[in-house]
Amino acid sequence: MPNEQGKIIQRRFFSRFLESGLLVLAVALGVGAASSGLSLLMYTREYGKNMLSLPAYREIIISTHDNAEDMQTPVMEKPVQENTVLTASDLEAAELVPSIAYAYVSNESRLHFINLNMLNMSAPAPEDEYSNPPQDNEFEERRAAMEENIKTAQEDPSIIFPDFEDLKGHEVTTQFFDAWEAETAYGSLFTDSDLTGTEHLVVLGWDTAQLLLDEGDDPESLLGKKLLSVDQLYTIVGILEPSGQAYDGEYFSPYIDAAARAGSTGGFRLRGMDTQLRFAVTDPGDLDSAADQLQEWFSTRFGENQIVISNPRAEAERLITRNTGISVLILFLSLAGLFIAAVNVSNILMSRALRMKKNVGILKALGASRQKILGLFTSEALTITAGGAVLGIFTAIPLSNAMQNALELRNTSWGYILIGVGLSWVLTMIFSVIPAWQTSKIEAAQAIKGEA
């Protein structure tokens, strides 16, 4: 019977090839849409959960108001009452808020490296009538001096010449590493004393270290080596363990408090000393109360509306809520499409089964049981829906990518796509089995008589 069953299914499929092909296509489109919608919702929830678990979303950021006019005026010393400028000394606000676990500075920075490619540069051309480019002889003098410096540095085996021109990183105080639970794979982190020292140190993220290594070298060999930037030499003292976070591809150097070095204790601060303060809590539920207490402290210190307090977690939660709502709507529409496709497939399979009533009666008269008849039509439904589900995977992948890109979600949720295809196929299969179940209930005499 199994061989005969396969032959019957094959004959039925190819005898109505166009109809069967359209059934498979309908299932593929329905399964593809539904699985991409389902995977989008599951991935959105997982992405949001992982995002909120990052240390960055347990922080309160304190900064000053951006002022475009200030950027076009010369830097001047101003009394602190007239020009609010934050420095590392303002981290003392954390001592008054018990829920704050860590307080640190994190300023974006960038190292511009000196390398051999710079020797091939040409003299800059004037950009406009106000430009004042160096004269040819002055430029040649600079290039000659740079060439001499590079040649001298090349004789020092401890100096590294990166193949790339610059590197993104941060100037931080030591509690940054505690807040982000960053540990070294090699070497050590810098200490509080390094923040006031004169030596220029750097801790590399794991991916950054790999960029600086020659093939086959051990990352530990980088310790003690120096990076030659356009400003000075930076000594590598540590390499962080890989974390899967953005800072793997960055570097960290000690934040030097310019205000402290300048001894600005007499009521004056330089605008160039401005910085960004970050306060991290252990329990995200304490963020709002901590923000209120910091607001009160900084308002007392600098006056009302002089500083900006931002809570990245609140912004992230609003984004996650928006993305989840969009995902639910997409899932509802895609499930509606799957339902319509499943109902149409069920109706067509029912009409095909009704055209075989006489054949069913003959099979039953020859001794075929109800289970055999049910298995025959179920196998046909299984063949059509399974073929549609396989094609649905190739439909779901581009749909899912397009949806995730629209919501600015990274990566592709392959596992969720397969789960969505499986669940969509089960739902379609249930609808497809209904005609088989109804056909198997027909009595042999009634089937032959009805077909006659």
Q: Tell me: do 208 and 104 sit in the same domain.
A: yes
Q: Containing H/E element for 414?
A: helix 414-440
Q: Using CA atoms, how far apart are residues 300 and 90, in angstroms rounded to an integer?
A: 12
Is residue 269's pLDDT more than 60?
Answer: no
Q: Tell me: do 79 and 22 sit in the same domain.
A: no
Q: Using CA atoms, how far apart are residues 302 and 434, in angstroms rounded to an integer?
A: 74
**DSSP secondary structure code for residue 412 in this structure:** -
Other beta carbons within 10 Å of 107: 15
3-state DSSP assignment of residue 62 = strand
340 and 30 in contact (C-beta within 8 Å)? yes
159 and 153 in contact (C-beta within 8 Å)? yes
Domain end marker among 278, 295, 313: 313
Q: Tell me: do 328 and 294 sit in the same domain.
A: no
Domain end marker among 286, 313, 340: 313
Q: Using CA atoms, how far apart are residues 115 and 149, in angstroms rounded to an integer?
A: 10
Q: Tell me: do 164 and 24 sit in the same domain.
A: no
Q: Tell me: do 303 and 331 sit in the same domain.
A: no
Q: Is residue 59 part of a domain?
A: no
Q: How do residues 388-446 score in pLDDT, each as one tens digit? A: 888 888 888 888 888 888 887 877 677 888 888 888 888 888 887 776 666 656 555 55
Q: Using CA atoms, how far apart are residues 436 and 346, in angstroms rounded to an integer?
A: 10
Q: Is residue 67 part of a domain?
A: no
Is residue 68's pLDDT more than 50?
Answer: no
Lowest mean pLDDT, pick from 149-163, 240-254, 276-290, 321-335: 149-163
Q: Tell me: do 120 and 224 sit in the same domain.
A: yes
pLDDT above 90: percentage of residues in the chain: 29
Q: How do residues 132-169 score in pLDDT, each as one tens digit? A: 555 556 656 666 666 666 666 666 778 888 888 889 99
Domain end marker among 313, 328, 345: 313
For 404, the domain range is 2-52+318-451
239 and 186 in contact (C-beta within 8 Å)? yes
Structural domain total, the chain = 2
What DSSP string describes 149-179? HHHHHHT-TTEE--SSSEEEEEEE-THHHHH
86 beta partners: none
Q: Is residue 83 part of a domain?
A: yes
Q: What is the mean pLDDT of the chain?
A: 78
